[in-house]
Amino acid sequence: GAVVSQHPSRVICKSGTSVKIECRSLDFQATTMFWYRQFPKKSLMLMATSNEGSKATYEQGVEKDKFLINHASLTLSTLTVTSAHPEDSSFYICSASDRVGNLLHSYTQYFGPGTRLTVL
């Protein structure tokens, strides 16, 4: 159980175009989803946190207008990289968290397999 998928797994696009990445929780309802960016040989950088039906909360330094996040349902969140540039090339990983009541231990994050974005 607790499977998270991402689509596409790899995408190559031209500079100036927009790219949408989907994150789906396949067998549970994800009340909260997270988007991370991973640079080569670096740790994961949290970009934003989104709760279903509300606006995403962005981390400091992350451009809201460039990285659009939508969490319209309990099983789907999307990240759109608008007007992509080569410096946006990276590995983007989403995670999803379920919640059972208000138990803290239930806030386990399940990670997707990641999306490799290359902007030419």
Half-sphere exposure of 109 (CA within 13 A, CB side): 14
Question: Measured from the CB of residue 102, what is the shortest distance to another protein in angstroms?
Answer: 8
Least Cβ distance, residue 107 to another protein (angstroms): 4
Residue 2: burial class (beta carbons within 10 Å; 0-12, 13-18, 19+): middle
Query: CA-CA distance, 119 to 87, in Å (whole number)?
Result: 8
Question: Of 13, 44, 74, 76, which one interacts with another protein (CB under 8 A)?
Answer: 44
Indicate which single residue of 21, 79, 81, 93 sits in contact with another protein (rule: CB under 8 A). Answer: 93
Choices 62-70, 71-79, 82-90, 96-104; region in contact with another protein by CB under 8 A = 96-104
| Interface with another protein: number of residues (CB under 8 A) | 24
- Asked if 95 and 46 touch (Cβ cutoff 8 Å), the reply is no
Distance CA 24, CA 32 (A): 12
Write the single-letter amino acid at 69: I
Work out whether 35 is an interface residue with another protein (CB under 8 A): no
Token representation of residue 20:
């949408």
Question: In this chain, which of 21, 24, 77, 112 binds another protein, going by CB under 8 A?
Answer: 112
Q: Does 49 bind another protein (CB under 8 A)?
A: yes
Residues contributing to the site for another protein (CB under 8 A) = 4, 6, 32, 34, 41-44, 46, 49, 93, 95, 97, 102, 104-105, 107-114
